[in-house]
Amino acid sequence: MTLSINNISVDILGNSILKNISFQIKQGEIFCLIGTSGAGKSTLLRTFNRLQTVSNGEIQLNGQSIHSMTPQKLRKSAVMILQTPSLFEGTVEDNILFGLKLNSGFDKSESKLLATSLLEKVGLESRLLERNSFSLSIGQQQRVSIARAIAMKPSILLCDEITSALDPQSTLHIQDLLVTLKKQENMSIILVTHNMDLVQQIADRVGLLIDGKLVEVSSVNEFFNNPSTELGRNFLSTIA
C-alpha cells in the first residue's frame, strides 16, 4: 500500500489553507503530522478520504486516484478516527460491528465471536460487549472507536488528535495499540497530534506543517536531533 500526495492545494472561501503539498506514505509506517495550531493538519488529513475536497493536485492509493473511487470504497481502505469518540447510544458490540453490518456478506452468526476478538485486540475485556457505549470512560470509548475502524480491515488509519482528550494512562494504551497494529497488521497510520512525547515514542517519520506548507519530512530521529530547516529548528525551540 502506498498513499501518494502530489502537489495538492486546498482553498476555502478564497483562503489558501494548504499549499502545493507532496509526500508519500509507506506501507506499515506510522507517519505523524505535526505543526502549529491552525497550520492545516486536520484539513490535510481529511483530504485523504475525501472528507475535504482538494482544489488542485492528485492523491493516489496504490496508484489509483482516490477521486476515481467511490467514497464508500475509499473509506473502507482509509478509515478516520476522530478526537472525540464518535460512538452512538447502544451496546459496545453494536458500535464495533456497525460498519460490517452494512455489508451484504456479513455473517451474523459469527458477530459475537468477531466483536469479542476485536475488543480484545484493543485491550478491553469481552464482558464490556453488552455495556452501553456511553457508560464507558473516554479512553475506553476511543479504543472501541479503533476496534470499529479496524473491523473494516483498512489499509490506513487516519487519526486526528485521538489522544488529546485522554488521561496519561489511556494515552499509553492508545500508543501501545497503534504500535501493535503497525507491527501485527502491517497497517499504515497517519496521526495528527500536538503530543511530541507520543510522536517520539511511535513515529517512523514526521511531516512538519507550517502555515499550510509542508516544510519538512524526515525520520523521527533526524527531525528531533537535527532538523533540516530553520522552520523546523524554530518549531522545536517553541516546545522545548
CB neighbourhood size of 163 (10 A): 23
What number is the average pLDDT over the span 55-65? 96
Contact 75, 149 (CB under 8 A): no
Mean pLDDT, all residues of the chain: 93
User: Angle CA(112)–CA(188)–CA(233) in degrees, nearest 5?
Assistant: 135
Query: What residues have CB less than 8 Å from 240, skipping those under 6 apart?
Result: none
In CATH terms, the fold of domain 3-85+158-239 is Rossmann fold (3.40.50)
Digit-coded pLDDT (tens) for 66-125: 999 999 899 999 999 999 998 999 999 999 998 887 765 666 667 888 899 999 999 999
Structure confidence at residue 177 (pLDDT): 93
Contact 15, 211 (CB under 8 A): no
Query: Three cell numbers at 45?
Result: 488529513
Structure confidence at residue 98 (pLDDT): 87
C-alpha span between 110 and 159 (Å, rounded)? 28
Query: Three cell numbers at 240?
Result: 522545548
Classify 151 as helix, strand or coil.
helix
Structure confidence at residue 86 (pLDDT): 86
Structure confidence at residue 103 (pLDDT): 67
Q: Would you give the distance in Å from CA 46 to the centre of its chain?
A: 10
* Phi/psi at 167 (5° precision): -75, 165
Query: What residues have CB less than 8 Å from 224, skipping those under 6 apart?
Result: 200, 236
CB neighbourhood size of 230 (10 A): 10
Structure confidence at residue 18 (pLDDT): 98
Digit-coded pLDDT (tens) for 134-159: 999 999 999 999 999 999 899 999 99
Classify 200 as helix, strand or coil.
helix
Digit-coded pLDDT (tens) for 171-197: 999 999 999 999 999 999 999 999 999
* Phi/psi at 152 (5° precision): -80, -5
Strand partners, 134: none
Query: What residues have CB less than 8 Å from 42, skipping those under 6 apart?
Result: 160, 161, 192
pTM score, whole prediction = 0.94
Domain boundaries, the chain: 3-85+158-239
Nearest CA-CA partner of 190 in 80, 90, 88: 80
Nearest CA-CA partner of 201 in 154, 151, 163: 163
C-alpha span between 135 and 111 (Å, rounded)? 22
Alpha helices in 52-185 (DSSP H): 71-77, 92-96, 98-101, 111-121, 138-151, 168-185
